[in-house]
Structure 1
Amino acid sequence: MRHARSPLLLLALAPCLAFAAQDPKPEIKREASTPQANGVVHTLRTIPEACARIEGQFTGQAADPYKFALARTSANCQPRARLVDANKVKPSTQDGWIFNDKIVVPSQSCGTQSAVVRIWRKSATNAPPDLDAQGRSRIYLKDATDELKAKGAPAVPMFAVAMAVEGTPCAK
């Protein structure tokens, strides 16, 4: 009898294991956040390198249960990284992307639904210029334009963001 339960237990856990196997282990380990009420705007994550903040809010509507928005952190902020749509660039570890973060926000009014944000990052291997005789790191316009013509534009770090609502919708 004990051996008969093991396959049933595995069959019951199979959907959970399949869902967990979809995402690699993120660099940032975090628990699901506190459930959020409908209509309350909350910050999901700030990415200072891209001068961006990811915001969201549960709407309480079955057709569109959650709204995501990207907001600029400051008008004076100069981005040092690009923020791109993960659905367009299709990040993968084979292409040098690193699974950075997974944010799960449950709905307070519908416990079976959660907003999920997956963030991937791709580093750039840019180094500051060597120090000159005076101990300063300088970039000269002529040298920079010659290097740009020879090598092309330098790579910049990128963050790919995928936003989704997961779980079963609540009847309204």
Structure 2
Amino acid sequence: MRRLLPAFGAAMALAAFVSPAAFAADPVPEIQRSGSVPAQPAGSVHTLRQIPEACARLEGAFTGQAAEPYKFAVVRSSPNCQPRARFVDAAKARPSEAAGWKFNDVIRVPSAVCPQQQAVVRVWRKPAAVAPPELDAQGRARLYLQDEKARAEAAKLAAVPMFAASMTIEGKACGG
């Protein structure tokens, strides 16, 4: 499994095993998937979804272990990518429609080894009104360091879109 983005760490892995009852009444996701994800064998790392604006990729793998049946990670897609959105820890952000988040996607991945068990990844998106900088006298959009430092000190920086993802295991465990 690849390295998690620095903002996540071990808290993301521990927060991934939330009770399925907490998501019993999921809203309708923005992305409607046609067809199902093929069953994945144990030990096979697979990409669940790419989020280019956050320079991130969601990866997962069934482990074949009862204690931790599925490993889930948010991986940086490229070291040169400049993100236009942030990925935040879902356990800390607690995304909900009441807090301005949009339920973006739900991905269900069945296990090839244990067909009655599946990993369910829920992706949330918090939009932000991002406007390009005003054009200067030469018709170019420019940001000046001293102006941006002053905005940062005054806490008047523009909001950045955010994404959060959580993972649960649903179904009965095999061989137990």
Class of the TM-score when normalised by the shorter of the 2 chains: 0.7 to 0.9
Query: What's the counterpart of residue 10 of structure 2?
Result: none
Q: Which of these residues, 52, 58, 64, is aligned with residue 62 of structure 2?
A: 58
Q: For residue 106 of structure 1, what is the aligned residue in structure 2?
A: 110
User: Within 2, Cα distance between the matches of 1:88 and 1:141?
Assistant: 31
SS at match of 1:142: helix
Q: 2:135 aligns to what?
A: 131
Say which SS state the counterpart of residue 117 (structure 1) adopts. Answer: strand
Please, what TM-score do these two structures have when normalized by structure 1? Answer: 0.81
Name the CA distance, whole Å, in 2 between partners of 1:128 and 1:70.
28
Structure with the higher fraction of residues in helix conformation:
1
1:87 aligns to what?
A: 91
CA distance in 1, matches of 2:148, 2:23: 47
- 1:111-163 deviations in Å (ceiling 9; x for gaps): 11001110000011121111122211122233333333345332111101111
Q: Which amino acid aligns with 2:126?
A: K
- Equivalent residue for 1:22, pick from 22, 25, 40: 25
Classify 1:84/1:99 alpha carbon distance in 2 versus 1 (closer, same or farther; 3 Å). same
> One-letter code of the match for 1:135?
G
Question: Relative to structure 1, is the Cα distance of residues 60 and 127 closer, same or farther in structure 2, using a 3 angstrom cutoff?
Answer: same
CA contact (8 A) 1:32 1:106 kept: no
In structure 1, how many angstroms separate the alpha carbons of the residues matched to 2:154 and 2:73? 39
Structure with the bigger RCO (C-alpha within 8 Å, sep 6+) is 2
Residues 46-83 of structure 1: per-residue CA shift (max 9 Å, x gap):
11122111111111122221111222111111222111
* Alignment partner of 1:75 is 2:79: yes
TM-score of the aligned structures, taking structure 2 as reference length: 0.80
**Higher Rg:** 1
The answer as to whether partners of 1:40 and 1:57 remain within 8 angstroms in 2 is yes
Name the count of aligned residue pairs. Answer: 155
Unaligned runs of 5+ in 1: 1-17
Q: Residue in 2 aligned with 1:143?
A: 147
Q: AA paired with 2:166?
A: A
> Percent identical across equivalent pairs?
60
- Post-superposition Cα deviations, 1:72-106, rounded to whole Å, max 9, x if no partner, equal 11111122211112122111111110000000000
Q: What residue number does 2:40 align with?
A: 36
* Residue number in structure 2 paired with 1:3: none
Looking at structure 2, the residues matched to 91 and 140 of structure 1 have their Cα atoms a distance apart, in angstroms, of 34
> 1:52–1:73: 8 Å Cα contact kept in structure 2?
yes
